[in-house]
Amino acid sequence: MDLSATFRIILLVLLVICAIAVNLTKNLLQAVIIFMSYSSIMCILWILMESPDLAITEAAVGAGISGTLFLLTLRRIRKEDDKDGDQE
């Protein structure tokens, strides 16, 4: 087994670990970070499968736009929670 095949297997194992970890974590910020790493690993796998157009799309949409929207949503949720805590 050559180095490239070993690298692909390691990436696939990391992909499965990320998929499981994002479902098991209780902290939403950690879940977003794991999701962004999942998208980054998927981007690398698309490159290895010689699909650069899908890799660029995965990087832009998966890790970029979705991650940013998730982080902004978390920030807004925390602000709302702080406002609710101040009113009590």
Residue-wise pLDDT tens digits, 29-42? 999 999 999 999 99
pTM strictly above 0.75: yes
Average pLDDT over every residue of 8-15: 95
Alpha-carbon distance of 38 to 40, in angstroms, equals 5
Number of domains in the chain: 1
Of the chain, the percentage scoring pLDDT greater than 70 comes to 95
Q: Which domain holds residue 34?
A: 3-87
Is residue 61 over pLDDT 70?
yes
